């Protein structure tokens, strides 16, 4: 049977599809190719994937009729649900997009997994669910009741919906809270992309909270390793307490680097990799943002063998090299 990957043209989804294909899996990918950021970039990602073992369907999983029609004659036993409306700041501008993609869309995927009696549903959550928590590092056992953005609220709601399906239908699921993922083929709305483009083009780099920000930056290859490890190990329905607190077959893990880095350190490595200095503008904190993130990854290390190995000094030059090659700068 095939593995279904939603958000297959997205940053993480594309890399996960590529890794699945590399280990011989048959993969079905779906994506609506929306214009939240460059559709050309999404199509360029898809163009690198082998069509012999990868089938791509351009559909919107929010449209339940279209989803059911597209999947009617396809067999899948595992779903990796990475499709979503991303972006903390955009959720302030376009809240309805999050209601549709992250809430209705997640429910549609849950129903698909239930109807197919899938072996395992792995889904993307986010470090944003920790919201205004000040205890560091963030643990999957921490309360997450105070989201700082609508995006965070929708991702926490996804976790709760998944818990209800695990309880009601014993559907094995794993939620993965990603921490600031970066690397080649990344997203244009993320800090590393913005900093690199600004430095290479001689534009001003904006540092929010006057640069006093720390993030647990996680390289894409490390994230993909964690996703595949989670995919291969569905939570048992044996009554034991899984990470995140569920006694149903539902586990939640942080996937981060366990190494919070100052935003200024990120910029310094970008400058070095680009061979140019940045013009910097210091700005106040933006609504919905938080000052620091830091992942407690002990449960993922223990259960999944998750062992991130790429630090900023190695990962950022790889991104800058890809960016220069892709855009011929």
323 is catalytic: no
- In sign, the C-alpha dihedral spanning 282, 283, 284, 285 is negative
Q: Provide the token pair at 275.
A: 């061979």
Which residues touch 290 (CB under 8 Å, ≥6 apart)?
Answer: 128, 130, 131, 132, 148
The secondary structure of the chain in percent helix, strand, coil, rounded to multiples of 5, reads 45, 20, 40
DSSP states along 15-56: HHHHHHHHTT--EEEEE---SSS-HHHHHHHHHTS-TTTEEE
Q: Which of 98, 151, 165, 253 is catalytic?
A: 151
Q: Are strands 54-58 and 27-31 parallel, antiparallel or unpaired?
A: parallel
Number of residues that make up the chain: 329
DSSP states along 266-329: HHHHHHHHHTSPPEEEE-PPPTT--SB--B--HHHHHHH-------HHHHHHHHHHHHHHHHT-
Which residues are annotated as catalytic? Answer: 151
């Amino acid at each position: 049977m095939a593995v279904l990957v939603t958000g297959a043209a997205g940053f993480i989804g594309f890399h996960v599809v590529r890794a699945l294909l590399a280990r011989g899996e048959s993969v079905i990918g779906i994506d609506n190719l929306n214009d939240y950021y460059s559709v050309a970039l999404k199509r360029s990602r898809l163009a690198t994937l082998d069509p012999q073992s990868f089938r791509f369907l351009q559909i919107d999983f929010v449209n339940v009729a279209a989803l059911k029609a597209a999947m009617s004659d396809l067999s899948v036993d595992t779903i990796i649900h990475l499709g979503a409306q991303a972006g903390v700041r955009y959720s302030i501008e376009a809240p309805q997009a999050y209601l549709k993609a992250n809430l209705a869309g997640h429910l549609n995927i849950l129903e698909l997994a239930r109807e197919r009696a899938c072996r395992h549903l792995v889904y993307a959550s986010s470090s944003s669910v920790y919201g205004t928590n000040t205890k560091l590092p963030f643990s999957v056992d921490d309360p997450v009741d105070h989201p700082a953005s609508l995006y965070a609220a929708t991702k926490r709601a996804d976790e709760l919906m998944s818990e209800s399906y695990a309880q009601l239908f014993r559907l094995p699921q794993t939620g993965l809270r990603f921490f600031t993922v970066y690397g080649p083929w990344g997203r244009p709305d993320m800090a590393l992309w913005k900093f690199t483009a600004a430095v290479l083009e001689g534009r001003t780099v904006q540092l929010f909270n006057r640069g006093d920000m720390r993030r647990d930056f996680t390289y894409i290859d490390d994230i993909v390793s964690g996703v595949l490890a989670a995919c291969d190990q569905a939570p048992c329905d044996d009554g034991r307490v899984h990470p995140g607190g569920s006694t149903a077959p539902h586990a939640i893990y942080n996937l981060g680097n366990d190494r919070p880095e100052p935003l200024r350190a990120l910029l310094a490595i970008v400058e070095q990799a680009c061979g140019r200095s940045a013009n910097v503008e210091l700005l106040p904190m933006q609504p919905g943002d938080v000052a620091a993130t830091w992942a407690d990854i002990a449960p993922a290390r223990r259960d999944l063998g998750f062992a991130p190995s790429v630090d900023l000094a190695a990962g950022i030059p790889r991104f800058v090299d890809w960016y220069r090659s892709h855009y011929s700068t």
